[in-house]
Structure 1
Amino acid sequence: MSKTEWKDALDRLGVVLPPVAPPVAAYVPAVQTGSLVYTSGQLPFVDGELSAEGKVGADVDVPTAVEAARLCALNALAAVHDLVGLDRVVRIVKVVGFVNSAPGFTDQPIVINGASEFLGEVFGEAGVHARSAVGVSELPKNTPVEVELIVEVDG
């Protein structure tokens, strides 16, 4: 993928690649092994603040959670870019999304579509990926969503 393609896609979406969110514990935002980059779980930070807090299906509605998942994916791309540069992305291999779910909430796949659809908008066919969408009872900092990526990069 050329810089022009992903940069043009972000421009078309009205999105700016943010600085990498600093880790909230003892880890790094992303690591590379061979041709794969693994990101740590990314939260929906905007300018150092969570975009929303609470459980989806109680404190946070689905559209807000979908947007939070999109922000998580954007922050994960920032971590990839900081480590290796988005010009090197061959494809998004896998997305793992965690949803801070109220009891009985079962629409985790709809929430994580926020990340999946955003990656498709940025990378086109190279953004199509395998995925898990998991409901959990708590997430760090009471975030509604956390997303991690596995990304294939060239040489």
Structure 2
Amino acid sequence: MTPEQRLAELGLTLPEVVPPLAAYVPAVRTGDLVYTSGQVPLVEGKLPLVGKVGAELTVDEGREMARICALNALAALKSEVGDLGRIVRIVKAVVFVASDPGFTGQPQVANGASELLAEVLGEAGRHARSAVGVASLPLDAPVEVELIAEVS
């Protein structure tokens, strides 16, 4: 089953690539690696939720925002390589979580992105990961995800 077929089976549609919010490009390929820029959970140009996880958002809401970020990152990858089937492996995911100062559940929030990648890409979606709590993110986004992928 192709990644696009898995997306359809999950009831998901790959969105249009989120336009850059500043002076950068959504993804860059060098050799067999593609690096995505950080992707926030924009849906049709808007953030469904804003604020810090552990204050304005629950862990489950943060996890859902991380899923959206991962979907946006897959769109950025596809824009660079043309077909998600060319992804050999997601090498690394970095998940930034805008966190209340006492919040320590960043790994649980990051699981939203990691689980989506595994659901869509199977074994190729399993990856190394960092889950990092930060004071704030662009547009008051609760989560931002960047990926490094090996491609054929």
Instruction: Give the structure-1-normalised TM-score.
Output: 0.96
Taking the aligned partners of 1:107 and 1:87, their CA distance within structure 2 comes to 32
SS in 1 for 2:145: strand
Letter in 1 for 2:49: A
SS in 2 for 1:49: coil
What is the match of residue 128 of structure 1?
A: 126
Taking the aligned partners of 1:63 and 1:27, their CA distance within structure 2 comes to 30
SS in 2 for 1:82: helix
4+ long deviations beyond 2 Å: none
- Does 2:79 match 1:73? no
What is the match of residue 87 of structure 2?
A: 89
What is the match of residue 148 of structure 1?
A: 146
Taking the aligned partners of 1:25 and 1:125, their CA distance within structure 2 comes to 33
RMSD: 0.7
What is the match of residue 30 of structure 1?
A: 27
* Alpha-carbon distance, 1:82 to partner: 0.8
Unpaired segments ≥5 residues, structure 2: none
SS in 2 for 1:80: helix
What is the match of residue 63 of structure 1?
A: 60
Figure out how many residues of one structure are paired with residues of the other and give that number. Answer: 151
Letter in 2 for 1:5: T
SS in 2 for 1:48: coil
SS in 2 for 1:83: helix
Instruction: Give the structure-2-normalised TM-score.
Output: 0.98
* Alpha-carbon distance, 1:7 to partner: 1.2
Letter in 1 for 2:102: G
Taking the aligned partners of 1:61 and 1:101, their CA distance within structure 2 comes to 10
Aligned residue among 116, 119, 132 for 2:117: 119
Unpaired segments ≥5 residues, structure 1: none
* Alpha-carbon distance, 1:87 to partner: 2.2
Report the more deviating stretch, 82-91 or 27-36: 82-91
Taking the aligned partners of 2:14 and 2:136, their CA distance within structure 1 comes to 28
